[in-house]
Amino acid sequence: MFDARLLTDAKTMLDRCRAAGIKLALAESCTGGLIAACLTEIPGASDVLERGLVVYSNAAKTALLGVPAALLEREGAVSDAVACAMAEGALGNAPVELALAVTGIAGPGGGSEAKPVGLVHFAVARKGGKFIHRAARFTGDRRAIRMASVAAGIELLGTAID
Q: Is the pLDDT of residue 129 over 90?
A: no
Average per-residue pLDDT for the chain: 97
Strands of 119-126's sheet, edge to edge? Answer: 49-54, 24-28, 98-104, 119-126, 130-137
Q: Is the pLDDT of residue 86 over 90?
A: yes
pTM of the model: 0.97
Residue 91 near residue 132, CB atoms below 8 Å: no
What mean pLDDT do residues 78-92 have?
Answer: 98
How many other CB atoms are found less than 10 A from the CB of residue 44? 12
Q: Is the pLDDT of residue 162 over 80?
A: no
Q: What are the phi and psi torsion angles at 153 (to 5°)? A: -65, -45
Q: Under CATH, what is the fold of the domain 4-161?
A: Maf protein (3.90.950)
